[in-house]
């Protein structure tokens, strides 16, 4: 049985049915015409009315520019931590009652400033006793000297004996020894009295005081008990920046250092936490004599001037070491570099205004611009603004843009 429907056959098939034997042929033709009209109407609604197609969207406007060309040096970057050049624990050398604290916690003090005062009265008494003993010894020495002179005179006139001269001489020497001992006692008492005041050994920042006024403190000269820690002080200018180099970085640095001389070889730039650029300079003054076998790194240290006392021991900073003389390089805005999984790319606009993605190898940031190590030519036109509206392979409406370095932005390490 054939299920296919042919409208033209409606008029022929209709008479064969007994139910329609009396109907005229034009009825079948009318039905066929109605079916054709219905099919045409359905096709019209499904496929549109035949209007003109929608126009393509206009090309996206973008700013383009050739890469910026500058001479820059290769650098190594590290993270370091500040430490004080000098750090002293202030302890009492003499014991007694603490009577005065002459600073506020966290103050910056200068060399020679008074910090602590211990009750001096016991040591003033000791000094007075020693002074009196000295005066007594000096009187005995004067008497012994006169008696020795008289004995010698009598011995020369044969009125005295040699034994008498020897006795007076011994007494005079004993008196001299007593004077020397008394002088030592005076110096000892004066030493203790002077140590009742604790002064700043250098200019630096004080920590918190660890003993309050009225407490009894123990001094190092007592010898029978531990000394009392009063406070700590750290120097601020200059300040150290400690960091670690990996074995590969250390090898690179050693090779580059062989070709440099003088201050250039040891010059460093740093960017403390919160700073926007590597504006501070310092000097590399120490590299350890062996690699740490457990970490594969070697310790290094730079000295940084800190005349404004803005750098604090314990803080962190990034540090950069130059490893080559300045060489030509291409730079682009960091925002123009897009991450593509493990690669990076930029959009390049050709002569036909069609956008093509270009894979590039990147370096670090310099004045807010990303260094391009490979993948670009100086004549390439890259998209620097309007990137969100760009699609690879589409035509754009480019206009000239400008790449401006920004020295206020920090130079960071290469993108990962």
pLDDT digits (tens, 9 = 90+) for 15-27: 444 444 445 554 5
For the stretch 340-374, pLDDT in tens is 778 899 999 988 889 899 999 888 777 778 888 88
Helix/strand/coil percent split, the chain, to 5? 30, 35, 35
Identical fold for domains 62-71+328-400 and 122-194, yes or no, is no
**pLDDT at res. 371:** 87
Lowest mean pLDDT among 52-61, 138-147, 192-201, 210-219: 52-61
Residue 219, token pair as written in the block: 């001094």
- Per the prediction, the chain carries an average pLDDT of 81
Cβ neighbour number for residue 104 with a 10 Å cutoff: 10
**pLDDT at res. 5:** 46
Cα–Cα distance for residue pair 184/139, rounded to 1 Å:
17
Comparing CA positions, the residue from 152, 73, 85 lying closest to residue 323 is 73
Give backbone dihedrals phi and psi of 183, rounded to 5 degrees, phi first. Answer: -60, -40
If one compares 141 and 8, the residue with the highest pLDDT of the two is 141
**Cβ neighbours of residue 40 under 8 Å, at least 6 residues apart?**
none
Q: State the average pLDDT over residues 383-400.
A: 88
Give backbone dihedrals phi and psi of 242, rounded to 5 degrees, phi first. Answer: -95, 140
Preceding omega of 238 cis (within 30 degrees of 0): yes
Q: Which helix (H) or strand (E) is 155 found in, with range?
A: helix 121-156
CATH 1.10.8.60 fits 62-71+328-400, yes or no: no
Q: Answer whether 304's CB lies under 8 Å from 48's CB.
A: no
The fold for domain 75-83+237-322 equals Elongation Factor Tu (Ef-tu); domain 3 (2.40.30)
* 30 — pLDDT class (breaks 50, 70, 90): low
Q: Is the pLDDT of residue 8 over 60?
A: no
Coil vs helix vs strand at 145: helix
For the stretch 93-106, pLDDT in tens is 898 999 999 999 99
Long-range pairs, 68-71, Cβ under 8 A, ≥24: 68/330, 68/331, 68/332, 68/369, 68/403, 68/405, 69/328, 69/329, 69/330, 69/331, 69/378, 70/328, 70/329, 70/331, 70/366, 70/405, 71/326, 71/327, 71/328, 71/329
* 259 — pLDDT class (breaks 50, 70, 90): low
Classify 122-194 by CATH class.
mainly alpha
Residue appearing with tokens 């670009």: 376
Comparing CA positions, the residue from 406, 393, 401, 371 lying closest to residue 59 is 393
If one compares 108 and 366, the residue with the highest pLDDT of the two is 108
Q: Is the pLDDT of residue 42 over 80?
A: no
For the stretch 134-176, pLDDT in tens is 888 888 888 888 887 888 778 777 776 778 777 878 888 888 8
Q: Answer whether 31's CB lies under 8 Å from 11's CB.
A: no
Q: Which helix (H) or strand (E) is 271 found in, with range?
A: strand 267-272
If one compares 155 and 43, the residue with the highest pLDDT of the two is 155
**pLDDT at res. 171:** 84
pTM of the complete model: 0.64
**pLDDT at res. 158:** 75
**pLDDT at res. 204:** 93
Q: Is the pLDDT of residue 13 over 50?
A: no
The torsion angle over the Cα atoms of residues 325, 327, 332 and 338, rounded to 10 degrees, is -80
Coil vs helix vs strand at 154: helix
Cα–Cα distance for residue pair 214/96, rounded to 1 Å:
9
For the stretch 225-251, pLDDT in tens is 688 899 999 999 999 999 999 998 888
Q: Is the pLDDT of residue 114 over 60?
A: yes
Cα–Cα distance for residue pair 366/383, rounded to 1 Å:
19
Residue 68, token pair as written in the block: 């910026």
**pLDDT at res. 53:** 57
Q: How far is CA 325 from CA 251, 264, 366, in A?
A: 17, 10, 15
For the chain, the structural domain boundaries read: 7-47, 62-71+328-400, 75-83+237-322, 122-194
Q: Answer whether 356's CB lies under 8 Å from 396's CB.
A: no
Residue 333, token pair as written in the block: 């805005």
**pLDDT at res. 36:** 54
Q: Answer whether 184's CB lies under 8 Å from 209's CB.
A: no
**pLDDT at res. 256:** 77
Cβ neighbour number for residue 15 with a 10 Å cutoff: 14
* 1 — pLDDT class (breaks 50, 70, 90): very low
**pLDDT at res. 119:** 94
Comparing CA positions, the residue from 89, 98, 123, 115 lying closest to residue 217 is 98
**Cβ neighbours of residue 187 under 8 Å, at least 6 residues apart?**
none
Share of the chain above pLDDT 70, in %: 81
Burial class of 337 by CB neighbour count within 10 A (0 to 12, 13 to 18, 19+): middle
**pLDDT at res. 33:** 60
Angle between helices 121-156 and 162-194 (to 10 degrees): 160
Share of the chain above pLDDT 90, in %: 33
The beta strand positions in 85-136, using DSSP E, are: 87-91, 96-101, 108-109, 114-118
Residue 267, token pair as written in the block: 């010059």
């Amino acid at each position: 049985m054939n299920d296919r429907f042919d409208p033209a056959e409606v008029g022929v098939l209709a008479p064969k049915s007994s139910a329609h034997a009396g109907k005229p042929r034009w009825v079948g033709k009318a039905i066929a015409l109605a079916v054709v009209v219905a099919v045409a109407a359905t096709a019209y609604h499904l496929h549109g009315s035949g209007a003109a197609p929608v126009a393509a969207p206009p090309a996206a406007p973008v700013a383009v520019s050739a890469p910026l060309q500058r001479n820059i040096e290769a650098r190594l970057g590290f993270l370091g931590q500040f430490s004080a050049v000098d750090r002293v624990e202030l302890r009492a050398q003499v014991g007694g009652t603490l009577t005065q604290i002459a600073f506020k916690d966290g103050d910056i003090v200068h060399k020679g400033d008074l910090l602590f005062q211990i009750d001096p009265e016991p040591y003033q008494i000791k000094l007075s006793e020693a002074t009196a003993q000295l005066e007594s010894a000096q009187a005995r020495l004067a008497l012994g000297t006169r008696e020795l002179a008289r004995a010698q005179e009598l011995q020369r006139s044969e009125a005295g004996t040699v034994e008498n001269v020897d006795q007076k001489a011994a007494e005079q020497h004993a008196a001299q020894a007593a004077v020397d001992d008394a002088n030592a006692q005076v110096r000892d008492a004066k030493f203790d009295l002077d140590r009742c005041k604790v002064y700043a050994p250098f200019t630096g920042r004080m920590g918190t005081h660890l003993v309050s006024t009225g407490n009894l403190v123990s001094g190092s000269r007592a010898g029978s008990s531990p000394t009392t820690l009063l406070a700590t002080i750290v120097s601020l200018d200059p300040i150290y920046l400690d960091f670690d180099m990996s074995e590969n970085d250390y090898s690179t640095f050693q090779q580059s250092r062989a070709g440099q001389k003088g201050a250039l070889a040891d010059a460093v730039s740093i960017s403390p936490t919160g700073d926007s650029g590597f504006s501070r300079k310092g000097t590399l003054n120490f590299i350890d004599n062996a690699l740490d076998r457990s970490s594969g790194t070697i310790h290094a240290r730079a000295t940084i001037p800190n005349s404004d006392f803005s750098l604090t021991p314990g803080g962190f900073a990034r540090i950069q070491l130059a490893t080559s003389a300045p060489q030509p390089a291409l730079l682009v805005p960091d925002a123009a570099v897009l991450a593509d999984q493990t690669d990076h790319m930029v959009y390049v606009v050709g002569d036909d205004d069609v956008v093509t993605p270009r894979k590039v190898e990147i370096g670090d940031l310099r004045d807010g611009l990303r260094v391009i190590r490979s993948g670009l030519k100086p004549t390439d036109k890259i998209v620097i603004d309007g990137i969100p509206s760009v699609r690879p392979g589409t035509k754009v409406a480019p206009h000239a843009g400008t790449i401006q370095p920004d020295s206020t932005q920090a130079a960071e390490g290469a993108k990962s």
